[in-house]
Amino acid sequence: MSDRERSIGVFDSGIGGLTVMHALMAALPAERLIYFGDTARVPYGPKSRDTVTRFSIENVELLTRHDVKAIVVACNTATAFALPALRDRFELPIVGVIEPGARAAAAATTNRRVGVIGTHGTIGSGAYREALTALAPDVTVVSRPCPLFVALAEEGWTDHPAARLVAEEYLAPFRIDGVDALILGCTHYPLLKGVIGETLGSSVRLIDSAEETAREVGALLARRDLARRGDPVSEHRFLVSDLPEQFLRVGQRFLGGRIGGVEVARAGAA
Ligand code: DGL
């Protein structure tokens, strides 16, 4: 198979990366995608850098066995902790979600005050702050973890009074900080865009890194002459390390589309 015909490997700790998968499918319809959700070891958000890095290496090893031409780390926590280690270890091009999100936020803010929300791991790593400071040193960054948003999104409680209560508790301090852009630095948060937007008001732009990440993947494929030139692909492959039925049920909501089938695959010792 020619390099252009090979698939792009996408991985996440579970179902959240399907929001990135959705953006990749829309932006790069001719590409074959193979998604791995590490549902046996989710969540990554409360775990250590070492553990998330080890899991991420094993996930990329699994995807390379499917002869992929590039990897998308469709998980903020895995990108925050493991992207440099993955790039050191593997030769194939690897794109994460943090730099694209930071770039979109730096372009969107006019008052140069940007908020970031994510898991404990992502916020604790300081990866968004670092990326934003490198891109736009004049931007002030305020970040806070919002771990309960993950459970609310998975429960489908995206328009529920509990979601409003939690959003008010987590996000009220951003009103005092006066940010005019907020990075949704976790794969699950785009599902709560409605409630987050209502809580902060229309003066705060919500930045979802998925689309910007898909653009970056497209540019990378073009640069390396790796873009597939065939007809649009209608079925992609989905692999998980546990509970395929649950992935299928909840995942279609995250993907915003049909998942034809789910296979079970093991990464590392999962
Ligand atoms: N996918 C993770 C992220 O974007 C959220 C879920 C988890 O904690 O594993 O950070």
| DSSP per-residue string spanning the chain | --GGGSPEEEEESSSTTHHHHHHHHHH-TTS-EEEEE-TTT---TTS-HHHHHHHHHHHHHHHHTTT-SEEEE--HHHHHHHHHHHHHH--S-EE-SHHHHHHHHHHH-SSSEEEEEE-HHHHHHTHHHHHHHHH-TT-EEEEEE-THHHHHHHHT-TTSHHHHHHHHHHHHHHHHHT-SEEEEESTTGGGGHHHHHHHH-TTSEEE-HHHHHHHHHHHHHHHTT----SSPP---EEEESS-HHHHHHHHHHHHTS-----EE---TT-
For residue range 193-220, what is the model confidence (pLDDT) as tens digits?
999 999 999 999 999 999 999 999 999 9
Segment 174-199 shows an average pLDDT of 97
Residue 270 lies in a domain: no
For a pocket test of ligand 1, which of 75, 79, 97 has the largest count of ligand atoms closer than 8 A to its C-beta?
75
Cα 135 to middle of ligand 1, angstroms = 24
Pocket test of ligand 1: the residue of 47, 188, 189, 250 to mutate, having most ligand atoms within 8 Å of its CB, is 188
Q: Average pLDDT over the chain, rounded to whole?
A: 96
Among protein residues, the one with the nearest Cα to ligand 1's atom 6 is 43
Residues 55 and 75 in one domain: yes
- For the CA of 80, the closest atom of ligand 1 is 10
Residues 102 and 118 placed together within one structural domain of the fold: yes
28 & 41 share domain: yes
From the candidates 63, 75, 83, 267, give the one annotated as an active-site residue.
Answer: 75
Tell me the longest C-alpha to C-alpha distance in the chain.
55
Strand arrangement of the beta sheet that strand 94-95 belongs to? 94-95, 70-73, 8-12, 33-37, 237-240, 263-264
By percentage, how much of the chain surpasses pLDDT 70? 99
Position 268 scores a pLDDT of: 83
Q: CA 198 → CA 194, 236, 246, distances in Å? A: 6, 34, 30
Residues flanking ligand 1, CB < 6 Å: 12-14, 16, 42-45, 75-77, 118-119, 122, 150, 186-188
Given the residues 186, 191, 207, 221, the one annotated as active site: 186
CB atoms within 10 A of CB 217: 25
Q: What is the rounded average pLDDT of the residues 154-159?
A: 94
In this structure, the answer to whether residues 116 and 30 fall within a common structural domain is: no
Give the domain CATH number at 118.
3.40.50.1860
Mark whether 187 and 156 lie in a shared domain. yes
pLDDT in tens, 98-140: 999 999 999 999 999 999 999 999 999 999 999 999 999 999 9
Same domain, 158 and 199: yes
Res 247 pLDDT > 60? yes
Asked, for residue 179, whether it belongs to a domain, the answer is yes
Domain that holds residue 205: 98-209
Tell me, yes or no, if 146 is annotated catalytic: no
195 and 102 in a common domain: yes
Distance 182 CA to ligand 1 centre (A): 17
Q: What is the per-residue pLDDT for 62?
A: 98
The two three-digit tokens of residue 236, written as one number? 């992609």
| pTM (global) more than 0.95 | yes
Is residue 121 within 8 A of residue 47, CB to CB? The reply is: yes
From the alpha carbon of 147, which atom of ligand 1 is closest? 8
Whether residue 84 is found in the same domain as residue 17: yes
Answer yes or no: do 33 and 102 share one domain.
no
Separation of CA 215 and ligand 1 centre (Å): 21
Question: What distance in angstroms lies between residue 137's CA and the mean position of ligand 1's atoms?
Answer: 27
At 38-70, the pLDDT tens digits run 999 999 999 999 999 999 999 999 999 999 999
Whose CA is closest to atom 7 on ligand 1?
A: 43
% of the chain exceeding 90 in pLDDT: 96
| Ligand 1 center–CA 76 separation, angstroms | 6
pLDDT tier, 1 (very low <50, low <70, confident <90, very high otherwise): confident
Number of domain units in the chain: 2
Ligand 1 atom closest to Cα of residue 186 = 4
Atom of ligand 1 nearest to the CA of 119: 10
CA–CA gap between residue 190 and residue 146 (Å, rounded): 13
What letter represents residue 57's amino acid? I
**Predicted confidence (pLDDT) at residue 249 exceeds the cutoff of 60:** yes
Instruction: Check the CA dihedral 243-248-249-254 and report its sign.
Output: positive
pLDDT of residue 269: 64
For residues 254 and 173, membership in a common domain is answered with no
